[in-house]
Structure formats: structure tokens, C-alpha cells
A and B are shown apart, each in its own frame.
Chain A
Amino acid sequence: MEQNTEHTLTKKEKRELKRKEKEDVKNQKESKKSTKRIVMWVSAVLILGFVVFGMVRIISSSPAGNGETVSFPIYDSDWVKGNKNASTTLIEYSDFQCPACAVYYPLIAQVVKDLGSEIRFVYRHFPLQQHQNANLTARAAEAAGKQGKFWEMHDVIFENQTKWAENGGARDIFIGYAKDLKLNLDKFNNDIDSKEVNAKIDGDYKSGLSAGVNSTPSFFLNGVKIQNPRTYDEFKSIIEQSIGKSAQ
């Protein structure tokens, strides 16, 4: 009797053993499956992360412009700042009423301050149609230029853009600026409407059009259009690279 129970027990035990074995195999399969799952999710996350990281790197390291070129000669009539004989030339096509141009105004001022001995900066007019006072401001700056104060007027105009941009009586405001700059007001008034001043702005605009300018501000570095830098440091490094190249 006792033996019998022992025997059945061993049978039971055998069964138990088999069951355990089966479970082990199953467990192994399960763990294989779960490693597969982990690998799948981890590789997905890695690939997606790699795409994002790669794209950010590619885009942030390519300040390359659209490659359009502008007629390189600098004319006597051009307004130049910095070193007039420098081999690196930065040309800006700008619109006094364009908010983005006003954003770039202090950046350019800083560039000319820091690198002015190695570059020449040229300002050309590109008044956009949708800005009611853009052409008038360009003429006011040119008229001030006739009395040797183009850059002074250029600065005042940008610094006060919000005051005159949507103002119907902008002309009086500019006459006020002319007064502050101690200009001859009669001459200033005449020059604003003169054919010569109009022709100068028209010439700038046309040269911009032929260079493919379709927005302001547009910058050309040694004749090649650059994408608008997002920060001062980026702007400076692009120009410094160009200075390095022309020095070689």
C-alpha cells in the first residue's frame, strides 16, 4: 500500500517535472518575445531620434543662401560704410518701412562697428509697393544724402519706424528730422521730389530686381545672396569666413 502511494507520487512528480519543463520552454519563448519587443521599441525610438537630431544639425549648419548673384560693381552713387577699399563687400537691399529691415538695422550697425575696417557695407533701396511711406523715406534719406547726411537720416528713420510707418503726414515728420540734422530745409524739400533722387531709387530697385531680390532685407556678400542670418553671431561668422577666403 505504502509502496503504491510512493509509486503514484513519483508518477505525479514526473508529470510535475514535465509540466515544469514545458513551462520553462514557454518562459524562454516568452522572454525571447519580450526581448524582441524591447528591441523593436528601442530601435524605433533611436531611429526617430536620429532623424530629428540629424535634421536639426543639417539645417542649423547650412546658412547657405539661394546662390543668386548681384551685379558686383559698386557705383559712385552708392552709399558705402566701412572700408571703401575692402575686398569684402556686403550689399543690403532694404526698405525703410519693412519691420524686418528695422530688426536688422542694429545688427548691421554692429557688423560695421566690429568689422568695418575689413568690409564695405553698401545700402541700396528696395521700397516695396505695399508700404505706403517706403518710397518717400527712401527719397528723404537721399535728399539728406545730398547734404552729406544720408547715414544720419538712415539711422533716424529706422530708429523711429513705428512713429511714421502708418502716418499719412510722414513728410512733415521727415522735415522735422531734417531740421534736427540741421539740414537746409528748402533744399531738402526740393531734393525729395527731384528727378535725380527718384532716378537713384529707381536704379537701386531695378538692380535689385535683376539680382532676384524678392524680399527685404536681402543681403549679398561679395555678390552672392546669403540667407538672412538669425543672430548677430551667425551674421558675423558668415562675414568673417568670407574675409578669410578673400584674404587667401
Chain B
Amino acid sequence: MTNSNQSLNNQLENPRNKRFAIWFLVIGFIGFVDAVYLTTNHFLGIELNCGILKGCEQVTTSVYASVWGIPVALLGLIYYLFIILSSILYLDIKKELVLRFISRVTILGLIASLWFLFAQIFLIHALCTYCLISLITSSILFIIGVLFLKDNRAEKLR
């Protein structure tokens, strides 16, 4: 009974949903690679020094590089990992709910990225390339999310 229900669900599934899931997966993967780079750099490649523009106290305690003791890069890594795993989850169980959830979560990624952009420009006075890549991927994820929710709503009204 449950099996037949599931296959019925699968047949009813909007074929475009799979494409949305794959886009989430691909962009999420790019963001993931970037975040892994930033995180490993944070833990392994951190340069211990005192800069001309900023004090070393600032660098070592690094107010903006971590939130509640968790490095921002690691938070990004967890975020992209979540996007990837939920996209695969959707491809597996084909529940629209999963895609709707991902789409809503992407706004958090975008807000976080915009805040760090603000912090880089106005507080740290330096831009880091890999953080900008993350801003781009999180923006694209957000756009995919918006497009999906729009498509989903239109489909329901039909």
C-alpha cells in the first residue's frame, strides 16, 4: 500500500523538481569545496603575525572570523554540506517538502554572506577572494530557491 502510494507520488512529481535538486547539488558542491578550502586554511594555514593595518590582537582573537567560537568557514562548510545532502535526499525520496525546506534555508546563507561582505568592506577593510566565491554561490542558491518556490506555487494553483 505504502509502496504503491510512493510510486504514485513519484509519477505525480513535477519533472522540473529534479532539475532544481541537481542545481542545488552542483552549486552546493562548488560552495562546499570553497568552504572546505577556507576551513582547512583556518585550522592549518593560519598565519600568526601582526599586520600593518590591523593589530595582531585583532588577528589572533579575530572577532569576525568566528561566531561563538565556531569559525565562520566551518559554518559555511556545514551549510553547504546540508544543501548537498538534502538535495541528494530529495533525489532519493522525491518529497517536495525537502526542496521547499532547502529553498527556505538558502535565505540564511545569503544573509550570512552579505553580513560578512559588509564586515569585510567596513570593519576589516579587506576582501578575501574565497569569501566572495562563497557569496556568489550562496546568492545563486538563493535564486534557485526563489525560482523553485515560485514554480512550486504556480504548479499548485494549476
A residues whose Cβ falls under 8 Å from a Cβ of B: 30, 37, 40-41, 44, 48, 51-52, 55-56, 59-60, 95, 98-101, 103-104, 128-131, 214-218, 227-228, 230
B103 to chain A minimum Cβ distance, whole angstroms, is: 20
0/1 string, B10-38, CB within 8 A of A gives 1: 00000000000000000000001100110
Instruction: State the majority secondary structure of interface residues on B.
Output: helix
Interchain CB contact under 8 A, A37 and B92: yes
A230 contacts B48, CB within 8 Å? yes
Can you list 29 A-B pairs, Cβ within 8 angstroms, ordered by A? A30-B3, A41-B92, A44-B85, A44-B88, A48-B32, A48-B84, A51-B33, A51-B36, A55-B33, A55-B36, A55-B37, A56-B44, A59-B37, A59-B41, A59-B45, A60-B40, A98-B56, A99-B50, A99-B57, A99-B60, A101-B50, A128-B52, A129-B52, A130-B55, A215-B51, A215-B52, A216-B50, A230-B44, A230-B46
The residues of A that contact B75 with a CB separation of less than 8 Å are: none
Query: In the complex, what residues of B have CB within 8 A of residue A130's CB?
Result: 55
Residues of chain A within 8 A (CB-CB) of B60 are 99-100
**What interface size band does chain B fall in?**
20 to 34
Q: Are B33 and A215 in contact (CB under 8 A)?
A: no
A103–B88 touching, CB < 8 Å: no
Residues of chain A with a CB closer than 8 A to B45's CB: 59, 227
| Cα A104 to Cα B47 with chains together (Å) | 12
B143 in the interface (beta carbon within 8 A): no
Whether B50 lies near A51 (C-beta < 8 A) is: no
Chain A binding surface SS class: helix
Instruction: Point out residues on B near A: beta carbons under 8 Å.
Output: 3, 32-33, 36-37, 40-41, 44-53, 55-57, 60, 81, 84-85, 88, 91-92
Q: Which residues of B contact A40 (CB under 8 A)?
A: 88, 91-92
Minimum CB–CB distance for B34 against chain A, Å: 10
The interface centre, meaning the residue of B32, B37, B48, B88 with most chain A CB atoms within 10 A of its CB, is: B48
Residues of B within 8 A of A217 (CB): 49
Tell me how far the C-beta of A22 lies from the nearest C-beta in chain B, rounded to whole angstroms: 13
Cα(A95)–Cα(B57), bound, Å: 14
The residues of B that contact A37 with a CB separation of less than 8 Å are: 92
Bound complex: CA of A46 vs CA of B55, how far in Å?
Answer: 41
Q: Which 4 A-B residue pairs are closest in the complex by CB-CB distance?
A: A98-B50, A215-B49, A215-B51, A100-B48
